[in-house]
Structure 1
Amino acid sequence: MADTPKISVYLITKNEGRHLDEVLSSVKGADEIVLVDSGSTDDTLTIAEQHDARIIHQDWLGYAKQKAFALEQCRNDWVINLDGDEVLPDGAFEQIQQRVAEDDINGIYLAHDDIFMGHSLPGHRHHRFRRVYRKSKSRWNTSLKVHEHIEVDEPLTHLPIDVKHYGYDSAHGYMDKLNKYSLLKAKQREEQGRTCNLARVLLIFPLMFIKFYIIRRMFLAGWRGFIKANIDAFHFFLTEAKLYEREYRRKRGDNVEKSER
């Protein structure tokens, strides 16, 4: 595979030791692994060193800005971006190498295989993400505080690769993440000039439950799917609730930021 373009893999981390060895083992063969860490206190850095990763410390900039910084550290034009809890399946890296060698695309969509309560969520893998792309044809939208995404110039394609994602594994851990994300999203909406809509407060939960449970087919996962669909829908409701609370407190003259500490 002498003509295969060199590929960099980049990650942003903080205390990702639980799954990091499996993550980095899944990209064996990459030309380089760039790991931008914002202050891990577990064994994240030790594991990264064992995989010959290039470790760069960067104080937390926010999700999109941190990933944009990490992307800029990559030496190669073709890159793969993974989180510290995302694992490529066996043979996937070689499949990606073969596809990018054709030199007719700028990026590749991959699907998530979300692990919840220790097992996959059947029916949910159609949700695709840009995970492989040319650095020169891509840019992170750094205006977003949460649910960041990268913009990649066409043409794009997809490969039948399901990235194992452990980030939603436990209900407790998932709720902790969504509690933080909902506040960031409420602040982001304020910065975009959007205000609380009471109709959304009333309707967002049932509508999003239908979206996740029926349209995204979480019902195929039985009670696990029912529980996760409720958690996902509650995330959207919580965003609206926090947006309402911030507006309510501000009208009453409260210190909004202090109330959220």
Structure 2
Amino acid sequence: MREPLSVVVTTYNSAQTLEACLGSVAWAEEIVVLDSGSTDATAAIARRHGAQWHEQPFAGYSAQKQAAIDLARHRWVLLLDSDEALPPDAAARVQRALEAPACAGYQLWRREWVFWRWQSPRARLNHYVRLFDRGRARMSGHSVHEAVEVDGPVDRLDVVLDHFGEPDIAGRVDKANRYSTLQANEDARRQRAWLGWRLIAYPTIAFLRYYLLRGHWRAGWAGFIAARVHAFYAFLKYAKLYESRVRNAPGAVRHPRQR
């Protein structure tokens, strides 16, 4: 007998993409939505799809997702972002895996929307644990780039999520600014060595890895711009970390607005 499935989604003003997200998992036994104060049509869309609706103030990306997972009734959970959707053939593949799960979690592939087009099908896709036994899994606790950590073997399903992400360059840059602040604050608790060299070298390394090794050069100018924004994120992350160290050094001079 197949394991029943709870789909878990966290939302905040997600009306533009939530219809596609929830519509792609209508076959699941339960859909749980945990919202953090939406003011658009997110609630109406969730209820129209029969989702269990919950609200709480935003607790951070990792903690918010863990709270949503804890609301699920079933042992097996499919965790989605509100701007992700499964393809039509995913239902049969997920349900087949749940007939006799051979591991504690499954990774799914994800393809990215890059400003005005999908990434090339010949580019390297990322993969993430999204289907898992919640009794043997927890969110990582990271401020950004949070991930599901599984206590047990992990396999990979031949399922490709569609990730809509930010619709334009301005949105991607805004996200890079927000995420770099969160990442710098998290890194400030560690003792990063060679910070100056990281600030100089790592943005170029990040660009080459994203553009060449991951194959985003195949997406033309969209891939080039995305790689540059990714490198900018890497630069901001280390620049903000350096700024934090200088400001907090003994005898540091404070700007009037920072006193």
Q: Is the 8 A contact 2:111 2:126 kept in 1?
A: no
Alignment CA distance shift 1:250-1:184 (3 Å) = same
> What residue identity is the alignment partner of 2:228?
N
| Distance in structure 2 (CA, Å) of the matches to 1:124 and 1:108 | 21
Alpha-carbon distance in 2 for matches of 1:189, 1:101: 42
2:53 to 46, 52, 55: 55
Partner of 1:80: 78
- Code of the residue aligned with 1:23 in structure 2: it is C
Map 1:71-220 to 2 at 5 A.
71-122=69-120, 123-142=122-141, 144-194=142-192, 197-220=195-218
Could you give the per-residue CA deviations for residues 116-145 of structure 1, whole angstroms, max 9, x where no partner exists?
Answer: 123211134431111110111101122x11
CA distance in 2, matches of 1:176, 1:215: 25
Structure 2 Cα separation of the partners of residues 130 and 200 of structure 1: 29
User: CA–CA distance in 1 between the matches of 2:254 and 2:50?
Assistant: 50
SS in 1 for 2:27: coil
Question: 1:138 is aligned with what amino acid?
Answer: A
Q: CA deviation at 1:5?
A: 0.9
- Counterparts in 2 of 1:229 and 1:50: CA distance versus 1, 3 Å: same
Q: Go from structure 1 to structure 2 and tell me whether the alpha carbon gap of 1:203 and 1:58 turns closer, same or farther (over 3 Å shift).
A: same
Q: Is the 8 A contact 1:249 1:255 kept in 2?
A: no
95-104 vs 233-242, which deviates more?
95-104
Structure 1 stretches lacking a partner, 5+ long: none
Q: Partners in 1 of 2:191 and 2:67 — Cα distance?
A: 27
2:58 is paired with a residue whose SS is coil
Aligned to 2:254: 254
Q: 2:75 touches 2:134 (CA, 8 Å); kept in 1? A: yes
* 2:188 match: secondary structure: helix
Return the letter of the residue paired with 1:228.
Answer: A
CA shift for structure 1 position 94: 2.3
The answer to whether the Cα contact below 8 Å between 1:113 and 1:163 also exists between their aligned partners in 2 is yes
Deviation at 1:155, TM superposition (A): 1.7
In 2 relative to 1, CA 196–56 (structure 1 residues): closer, same or farther, beyond 3 Å? farther
State the 1:213 CA deviation.
Answer: 0.7
1:191 aligned counterpart, secondary structure = coil
The aligned length equals 255
Between 88-97 and 69-78, the greater mean CA deviation after superposition: 88-97
Secondary structure in 2 aligned to 1:169? coil
Q: Please, what TM-score do these two structures have when normalized by structure 2?
A: 0.94
User: Are 1:111 and 1:125, in contact at CA under 8 Å, matched by a contact in 2?
Assistant: no
SS at match of 2:81: coil
Whether the aligned pair in 1 keeps the contact of 2:117 and 2:222 (CA below 8 Å) is: no
Q: CA deviation at 1:48?
A: 0.3
**Contact between 2:217 and 2:223, CA under 8 Å: does it hold in 1?**
yes
Q: Percent identity?
A: 33
In 1, the alpha carbon distance for the partners of 2:236 and 2:207 equals 13
Distance 1:195 1:172 in 2: 32
**Residues 49-101 of structure 1, C-alpha deviations (whole Å, 9 max, x = no match):** 10011111111110111111111100001100000100101121221111121
TM-score by length of 1: 0.93
Q: In structure 2, what is the equivalent of residue 5 of structure 1?
A: 3
CA contact (8 A) 2:109 2:158 kept: yes
Match in the other structure for 2:23: 25
Counterpart-to-counterpart distance in 2, 1:195 and 1:124: 33
